[in-house]
Structure 1
Amino acid sequence: MLSGGRFELGLGAGAFWEAIVAMGGPGRTKGEAAGALGEAVDIIRLMWSGERAIRYDGRHYQVSGAHPGPVPAHDMGIWLGVLGPRLQHLLGRKADGWCPSAAYAPPEQLPAMHRRIDEGAAEAGRDPREIRRLYNVFGAITDGARDGYLVGPPEMWMAELTSLVVEHGMDTFVFGVQGDDPDQYRRWALEIAPAVREAVAEHRGTAG
């Protein structure tokens, strides 16, 4: 509400369990974490529903007559950064977007992951095309030769990102760079993003 609708919500099943327990949170197995995430999505949807009071009786979470606050300023999406098969099925059933990182979900693994998300969506009667596919990419834009995955000149970035869209099914990128160098973000905005949009449009026959 304060931002005027500029936020989406990203969630995960949890990680760094020793730290979570050290700060008073519960320690969960992978199966328990997956179940808890599914319940959390249900409850958040209820909290955004505009209902006067909500109730939820889950295995991990219970809500008894809570009064939600104001509804979001826009139809707020829930994006999940999940990798395992069970959670990808859950994402297809319940979430609006998938946001893995390239380091944990490399391009060669994306097709199988997309299939699991699509299967979950189909089971819930949803159109898989409505689920956003974001990709967290970390690297460096340079003026020299390629020096590893996503480290190299703008033309390398354009080719790699265009391939991730047209061949691997991703539709949105979140760029990160070591040290948060503002010049890198400037180059991303001025050199990389427009070139990738143009290349994708040309591939799809929608340029111009």
Structure 2
Amino acid sequence: MAAHPSFGIATAPQQVDYADLLRVWREADEIPQIEHAWLFDHLLPIAGDLDGPIFEGWTLLSAMAAQTQRLRLGLLVTSNRFRPPAMLAKIAATVDVVSGGRLVFGIGAGSRPSNPMARREYEANGLPYHDFSHSVEALDEALSVIRRLWTEDRPFDFDGTHVSLRGAFGNPKPAQRPHPPILIGGRSAAVLRLVAKHAELWNVPGGDIDDVRQRSALLDRYCADLGRDPASVTRSIHLSVSYDEPGRTRAAIAEALDAGFGHVTLGLPSPYPQGVARWVADELIG
């Protein structure tokens, strides 16, 4: 079992009002058992009314950062397909400063082309939608650029296959030094190689715990190939919460902890009951 597990909440910013999201985050900010809180990064709803409301993730995250004091916070996870990496580095540095150094920089390659519910948002927003191998290669370059923008004190050029920059420079730097922790979300072998290369945390959706264990073992191997201690990558898992069957959620948490996933994010379905953050602390975390 993972030592000293940390628990957080995830509130998908779709089919909800801003006031409800803010209520839940402010309540969670007052509950020590809840250490982190997350939004996601989509431009159109991926569940419920497909024409319903959805907020832009980074803008909303900055608002939440300004109105909380303690919670670590981030997007689970940013789509690298949506924003040029130098712009994303600037956005993330701004949020880290606004939050007083509480950002966890969650990022992923973006949804696969086989996911029609996600794919439509690219077409609706005039964004290119390349194949998955392209998106993984682009994520590798983006992470290299973003880290340099956060840490280097002189402008630099970058010539990659997918990213080309001239005179790139980040100022101000993030509040955290050397930079905010990087969390990569995904389960494919190609993404796990990038986790071993770039990340402090790796997040995967729960569900099939045997598959999750196998993916974690594969990450161990990729870390070893790079001469990196596998224990230096925190294992993070997203678990869906059932308000009606908390025992089922508690069982999933126990399985995840036993599998070595000490960073647990509990996805809260909307509408959010009154006092939901306290309920999470009392009924699920204990």
TM bracket (short chain): 0.7 to 0.9
Give the 3 Å change call, closer, same or farther, for CA 159–66 of structure 1 in structure 2.
Answer: same
Superposed CA offset, 1:13-71 (max 9, x none): 11233422442322211110110111111111011113221222111111111121122
Give the 3 Å change call, closer, same or farther, for CA 182–101 of structure 1 in structure 2.
Answer: farther
Alpha-carbon distance in structure 1 between the residues aligned to 2:246 and 2:125: 43
Alpha-carbon distance in structure 2 between the residues aligned to 1:170 and 1:138: 15
AA at the equivalent of 2:246:
P
Q: Is the Cα–Cα contact under 8 Å of residues 242 and 249 in structure 2 kept in the other structure?
A: no
Partner of 1:10: 106
Alpha-carbon distance in structure 1 between the residues aligned to 2:226 and 2:202: 16
Check if 1:52 corresponds to 2:154: yes
AA at the equivalent of 1:5:
G
Partner of 2:228: 126
Partner of 2:252: 160
Q: Answer 1 or 2: higher relative contact order, Cα 8 Å, separation at least 6.
A: 2
AA at the equivalent of 1:174:
T
Please give the residue correspondences for 1:9-28 in structure 2 after superposition, counting only pairs within 5 Å.
9-15=105-111, 16-28=118-130
Q: Is the Cα–Cα contact under 8 Å of residues 206 and 239 in structure 2 kept in the other structure?
A: yes
Alpha-carbon distance in structure 2 between the residues aligned to 1:157 and 1:22: 36
Q: Is the Cα–Cα contact under 8 Å of residues 141 and 162 in structure 2 kept in the other structure?
A: yes
Match of 1:68, SS state, is: coil
How many corresponding residue pairs?
181
Give the 3 Å change call, closer, same or farther, for CA 18–140 of structure 1 in structure 2.
Answer: closer
Give the 3 Å change call, closer, same or farther, for CA 187–48 of structure 1 in structure 2.
Answer: same
Alpha-carbon distance in structure 2 between the residues aligned to 1:60 and 1:48: 20
Match of 1:174, SS state, is: strand
Partner of 1:85: 189
Check if 1:66 corresponds to 2:66: no
Stretch moving more, 39-48 or 90-99: 90-99
The partner residue of 2:284 within 192, 195, 206 is 192
> How far is 1:183 from its partner?
3.2
The TM-score with structure 2 as length reference comes to: 0.59
Q: Is the Cα–Cα contact under 8 Å of residues 192 and 222 in structure 2 kept in the other structure?
A: yes
Larger-gyration structure (1/2): 1
Alpha-carbon distance in structure 2 between the residues aligned to 1:101 and 1:78: 17
Alpha-carbon distance in structure 1 between the residues aligned to 2:99 and 2:216: 32
> How far is 1:157 from its partner?
3.7
Q: Is the Cα–Cα contact under 8 Å of residues 206 and 212 in structure 2 kept in the other structure?
A: no
Match of 2:219, SS state, is: helix
Q: Is the Cα–Cα contact under 8 Å of residues 239 and 253 in structure 2 kept in the other structure?
A: no
Superposed CA offset, 1:96-124 (max 9, x none): 11112225xx2120121112212222222
The TM-score with structure 1 as length reference comes to: 0.79
Partner of 2:25: none
Alpha-carbon distance in structure 2 between the residues aligned to 1:17 and 1:118: 31
Partner of 2:31: none
AA at the equivalent of 2:262:
D
Stretch moving more, 175-184 or 35-44: 175-184
> How far is 1:182 from its partner?
4.0
AA at the equivalent of 1:96:
E
RMSD: 1.8
Give the 3 Å change call, closer, same or farther, for CA 65–109 of structure 1 in structure 2.
Answer: same
Partner of 2:84: none
Alpha-carbon distance in structure 1 between the residues aligned to 2:107 and 2:136: 12
Structure 2 runs not aligned, ≥5 long? 1-96, 112-117
Identity %: 25
